[in-house]
Every structure is written in structure tokens, then in C-alpha cells.
Structure 1
Amino acid sequence: MRFLPALAAAAAVAVLAPGTAAASPSPARFTTAYGTFTAAAPGATAVTYRPDLVPAGARAHVFGLSAEHTGTTTLLFVTGLRPDRAYGAHAHTQPCGATGDAAGPHFQHVPDPVKPSVDPAYANPRNEIWLDFTTDAIGTGFARSTVDWTFGGRRPKSVVVHETHAHTDPGHAGTAGARLACLTVDF
């Protein structure tokens, strides 16, 4: 995992073209969060709710870069998960807690007035931060989300790992099965 900060810095440079940072009316915001998944406990920032699918000791690292002229790019790296398995992951409105539900719903740039949000007009990878990934033979996975907006006064507070990749069909859009694990992120 030592290579991840360097990789994140390289991704930040790739997102910010030379000379564009000074032209931005507001500064770029860089976010990073790291955790080793454990059982839920007071103060835990990386929690597994299903250790059979996200074992205690598995790790997650989130990097985010948000700037007016480029939008928001979020990277997720995971290690120690079940090998060769599809997972969903999304930014959520609340920090991690004792249960997966504590993280609240998916963060949406334009909130759906209907809850739960399953309308593809709102529950989609352009209005939410979707980080679906499939692990390799040793349980490592990577995902990237790029959206054309930045955060205003509202910000997501966690990334939740879900049971499946996100669905896109009406009535199920954005759903991805059970909440398996959560990493608190100060976006």
C-alpha cells in the first residue's frame, strides 16, 4: 500500500492540467482516507459488517480531488477482499456506524425528492459517486469515478462497499445489495 500516495499524486496531476490550478476561482480540494476493516466499535473509521465478504484486516484507501474546472475525481483501492468477486461501492451521506444503515443513503449532487432513490434520473454515476470494482486473484481492487460537479455545502462522509455492482434499471437504479463495509471519508 506504500505506492498508493504516489499513485494518488500522479492522478491529481493528471486531473489538473498544467497552469489550470491558478485559474480556478476556488482552490482544489484533495481528500484522502485510509482504513483497515474491523468489527464495529466506537471510533472505528473502517468497519466490516460482513467479514465473510470483507474480512477483518482488509484495507481501503480513498483519494479525492475536487476542483471547479475539472469536477470531482474519486479513486478507491482495496486489498484483502474475496478474490475474483464483483463489489459495488458508493459515496454516502453519513459517516460509518455500528450498522451499514448508519451511513445513510447515497450522496447525490441533485437529490432525488423521492426516497429511497431508485429513479435512474437521479441514481446514476453522473449524479452520484459510483466506485464499483471487481477484485483480482489476490483480492485487490480499484475503481475511479469522475463527475463534472464539485461539492457545495453538502459533502459525502463515507464510502460504503456493497454486495454487487450498482443496478441501472428503473425501480432498482443505484441499488447494489447489502452494505458489506464502510470507510469514513472527510470529503
Structure 2
Amino acid sequence: MQRRERGERKVGDIFLKERGKRTEAYEVLGKGRKLRELNDRISAGFGRDFDVMDGIETSMDELLSIDLADIFMKGWKKYGAVTEVLERSKHSPLQKFYIALSEHTIHSSHRPRLEVEVEGVSLPSLIFEIDLDLKLEGFVLEIVDGEMVAIDSGACMAAGRVSCEGVVLYEKRSEKVELPVRMGFEGEEDG
């Protein structure tokens, strides 16, 4: 789905507030077997030193570019009260339906993969684990013609972690997420 709002929020907005600051976890990850092997293989094959960790750090924005509103909508599609209204609204295409959502938590897990390629040579990829719990309160969902078209946002608290090769890179226990007051959508993607 395409967001129309300029103030969109991504998973990276939760975890990457202190950009440019390599955590101790990065140092642990860099000393791990798989990354040492990657660094050694790259350095031996190209006759110069490489630091895979630099590539991981610069790729974090892309790896964590998951839209929070997409996570909300995928979670709500599994909620019976929302699916009932989605179905009912298909039969009244000109009518707007609003659902006030009570306090609830959406759990979301993602496994993005970082493909490692140096000068055209593919190397083993790195798999990241992103686990996120979003506690939502005071959200109102607008539905038209069988589609979620907008959200009037309320309070959102996030907790979660980002890890790679068993090493936790970022962890948040309870982070308030600032959201636009209203988030609109164009079209939906299945999921």
C-alpha cells in the first residue's frame, strides 16, 4: 500500500535514534565467526582489508524501512471486528465506516536478509531478526468500500529488538512513538 502522509514512520525510527554510534553489540557481532570469515574471505580475495560491519551499519536504514502503518493494517486484518466491517463496507461503497479500536498490542516479526556482494562476487548473506511489540491506544480506523483508507492515530508504545547472528544490535523496552495525527492510504497490498 502507498502512504500519502509525509510524516510516515518506519521501524528504523524506533531503533536508530542514535545514528552513527556503533554499539558494543556491533563489536561483538564483528568478532563473530561468520563475520570474521566474511571479512577474511573478502580481504583474501581482493588483496585489501574490508570491514563488513561498515556495510551493515550503512544498510540499517534500508533493513529497518518497514512502515509502521503497514504493520498496523496487517495486524488489524486479522481482527474479527475489523474484517466484519471490511466485508460489510463492500456492500455500501459510498458509506464511510469508523471503528474505534480499544487498547491492544500488535506483535510483528521480520527476517530481512542482507545480501553481501563485493565487486560482483556474492558471499553468504546475513539474516537479521526484528521482533516488535506495538501497544496501541485510541486509534480510529476509517474503512470505505472494503478497504482501510485512514487511521486517526492515538498513543503508540514500542518494544522490541533487532539482532543478527544471535547478537542483539538494538533493543527498546518501552519507547513512545510519535505518529502523525492522521495517516492516509492509497490502495492495499495483500498480506
Tell me whether the two structures share a fold, i.e. TM-score over 0.5: no
Structure richer in strand, relative to its length:
2
Q: State the TM-score, normalized to the length of structure 1.
A: 0.31
More helix by proportion, 1 or 2? 2
| TM-score normalised by length of structure 2 | 0.30
